[in-house]
Structure 1
Amino acid sequence: MAFPRKIMLAAAVLLLAACRSDPIQFHTLSPTSTSAQSASAVQRGNVEVQIETISIPPQVDRQQIVVRQSDSSLAILEGHWWGASLVDEMRSALAQQLPDQGAARKVSVRLDVQRLDSLPGQYALIDVNWRLRDLDTDARPLLYCRSRLQTAAGVSIDEIVIAHQQNLRQLAAEITQAASNTAWRCSSSS
């Protein structure tokens, strides 16, 4: 009687071990260092930038990180997730780097991400249309801009996320420059 019980116990242990999955790793687009914030503080000038909305393509708008495998296929990485929704990650990362308090002039930005690619071993890319609106006066027309930013990335997910952080840092700098510019012009895209 003890022998079948041991076999059943061993089988249960093996079954539980087979069901074990690798732990989920969470990633963020928010940079850890404040050096980016202090560096862009010089460019901030006299403007406060508020984020209205951010839209993201449905192919990548999910909790799991999505990477491109080839020209025609994507992979959803079940073991690598964003710390929050991708929209919230982008909003948080940009809000940390845009001028946000105590300015004389208030501007809002609306972002429409056309493409967000992650190609391991090659690059991280963001292609985004954005619109600035002066909240203090209707005399200034809307400003429509486009940024296409691409940063080389290594093969690891951490290297891809860091490349996306660099792209968002550059995007925040372009938005800040355009908002601070008295001529209200788009800066050049990379």
Structure 2
Amino acid sequence: MMRVFVTAAMALIAGCASSPPEHFYSLSVGMGGSAPQATPAYYIELPAVTVPQQVARNQLVVTTGAGRVDLLEQERWAAPPAAEIGQALSLAVSGDLGTIDVFRTPTPDKAPVYRISTNIQRFESAPGRYALIDAVWSVRLVGSTQVHTCRSVAQETVSAGYDELVAGHRRAIARISTDIAKTVRILAAGGKPSC
């Protein structure tokens, strides 16, 4: 009886040891730009980003064709996609503008703060084909009623492999962050941006 138990336990341990490893990915690796000025002329505030419900999970959700999607248990985001996208956008936009994201942080009196709201309409991952982010975003000077709303669709061709897929999403976020930063820069200079 003891021999059967030991054999079963060893088989269970061997089965656990042979399961494939999980891989974790982040969208904010390598994001950012110049260091902020000592006292920025203005700040940004990037509240939580929203994403489509079907991709709001830690596992990578990939499109395999004909409307089919697969949930990859071994390939995961380091944080939920909304948090990953939000952090990556915050780092990229604040780095591009040389300012600071002050979301949930007090700011000096009368300091201009531009609030950036972002709604991800589509977040598609097609390994070996493309990475796509379709975002509707708006910029508003806090305290003002004027809102500037735009849409950015960034599709990046990717080669095979999940590392390449994630790198494609990073490039897509960089393109969207450039659009947002350009708008903030024009608004801060008193101009009227266009989408």
Number of matched pairs: 177
After TM superposition, list the pairs within 5 Å mapping 1:74-85 onto structure 2. Answer: 74-85=69-80
Residues in 2 aligned to 1:174 and 1:47: alpha-carbon distance in whole angstroms: 18
Shift of 1:71: 2.7
Amino-acid identity (%): 27
User: In angstroms, what is the RMSD of aligned CA positions?
Assistant: 2.5
Measure the CA separation in 2 of the matches of 1:134 and 1:29.
27
Partner residue in 1 for 2:115: 108
Give the counterpart letter for 1:9 in structure 2. V
Instruction: Tell which deviates more after alignment, 95-104 or 6-15.
Output: 95-104
Unaligned runs of 5+ residues in structure 2 are 101-106
Q: 1:29: which partner in 2?
A: 27
1:127 Cα deviation (Å)? 0.5
Alignment of 1:38-117 (within 5 A): 38=34, 46-99=41-94, 100-101=99-100, 105-117=112-124
Do 1:52 and 1:109's aligned partners in 2 also have CA atoms closer than 8 Å?
Answer: yes
Deviation of 1:7 (Å): 4.6
Contact 1:47 1:179 (C-alpha < 8 Å) held by counterparts: no
Deviation at 1:98, TM superposition (A): 1.5
TM-score (ref. length: structure 2): 0.80
Seen in structure 2, the aligned counterparts of structure 1 residues 186 and 53 have a Cα distance that, compared at 3 Å, is: farther
Structure 1 unmatched ranges of 5 or more: none
- In the TM superposition, residue 184 of structure 1 has moved relative to its aligned partner by 3.1
Q: Map of 1:174-185 to 2, 5 A cutoff?
A: 174-181=179-186, 182-185=190-193
- More off after superposition, 97-106 vs 121-130: 97-106
**Farther-moved stretch of structure 1 (149-158 vs 128-137):** 128-137
Give the distance between the partners of 1:180 and 1:118, measured in 2 at CA. Answer: 31
Report the Cα offset of residue 93 of structure 1: 0.8
SS at match of 1:90: helix
SS of equivalent residue, structure 1 residue 59:
helix
Q: For residues 69 and 154 of structure 2, what CA distance do their matches in structure 1 show? A: 20
> 3-state DSSP class of the match of 1:160?
helix
Contact 1:29 1:89 in 2 (8 A): yes
Aligned 8 A contact 1:54 1:91 in 2: yes
- Given residue 84 of structure 1, which amino acid in structure 2 is its aligned partner? A
Per the normalisation by structure 1, the TM-score is 0.82
